[in-house]
Structure 1
Amino acid sequence: MKLYFMPGACSLAPHIALREAGLQFRLIKVDYKSRRTEEGDDFRRINPKGYVPALELKEGQLLTEVPVILQYIDMIRPDACLLPDAALERLKALEWLNYIATEVHKSFSPLFRPKTPEAFLSPGRAHLSLRLNVIERHLQQHRYLTGPAFSLTDAYLFTVCRWLDDQKLSIADWPALQRHSDDVARRQAVRDALAREGLAD
Structure 2
Amino acid sequence: PFDLVRVDLKAKKLEDGSDYTQINPKGQVPALGLESGDLLTEGAVIVQMIADKAPHKNLAPAHGSSERYKLQEWLNFIASELHKNFSPLFQPALSDDTKAFFQDRLMGKFKYIDQALTGRDYVMGQHFTVPDAYLFTMLAWADRVGLDISGLPNLVGYKARVAARPKV
- Which 4+ runs in 1 deviate beyond 3 A? none
Aligned residue for 1:38? 15
Aligned residue for 2:60? 83
2:141 aligned counterpart, secondary structure: coil
Q: Tell me how far 1:30 sits from its aligned partner.
A: 1.1
Residue 49 (structure 1) aligned to one of 26, 34, 42: 26
Matched, 1:29 2:6: yes
AA in 1 matched with 2:37 = G
Q: Tell me how far 1:165 sits from its aligned partner.
A: 2.4
Q: Tell me how far 1:100 sits from its aligned partner.
A: 0.5
- Normalised to the residue count of structure 1, the TM-score between the two structures is 0.78
- Alignment deviations for residues 117-176 of structure 1 (CA, whole Å, 9 cap, x no partner): 222122211111101111000112211000000000100000011011232312322221
Aligned residue for 2:100? 122
Aligned residue for 2:124? 146
Question: Is the 8 Å Cα contact of residues 9 and 27 (structure 2) preserved in structure 1?
Answer: no
1:128 aligned counterpart, secondary structure: helix
Equivalent-residue separation in structure 1 for 2:58 and 2:146 (angstroms): 36
Equivalent-residue separation in structure 2 for 1:55 and 1:175 (angstroms): 35
Aligned residue for 1:71? 48
- Alignment deviations for residues 26-79 of structure 1 (CA, whole Å, 9 cap, x no partner): 111112332221233211111011111000001221100110111111222222
User: How many pairs were matched up?
Assistant: 167
AA in 2 matched with 1:71 = Q
Matching of residues 105-184 of structure 1 within 5 Å: 105-184=83-162
Give ranges in structure 2 of 5+ residues lacking alignment: none
2:48 aligned counterpart, secondary structure: helix
Equivalent-residue separation in structure 2 for 1:81 and 1:39 (angstroms): 36
Give the CA RMSD over aligned residues.
1.4
1:82 aligned counterpart, secondary structure: coil
Identity within the alignment, %: 42
- Alignment deviations for residues 83-125 of structure 1 (CA, whole Å, 9 cap, x no partner): 1237111111111101101111111122221111222122211
Equivalent-residue separation in structure 2 for 1:167 and 1:173 (angstroms): 17
- Normalised to the residue count of structure 2, the TM-score between the two structures is 0.92
Give ranges in structure 1 of 5+ residues lacking alignment: 1-23, 191-201
Q: Larger RCO: Structure 1 or Structure 2 (Cα < 8 Å, ≥ 6 residues apart)?
A: 1
AA in 2 matched with 1:46 = I
Equivalent-residue separation in structure 2 for 1:111 and 1:36 (angstroms): 22
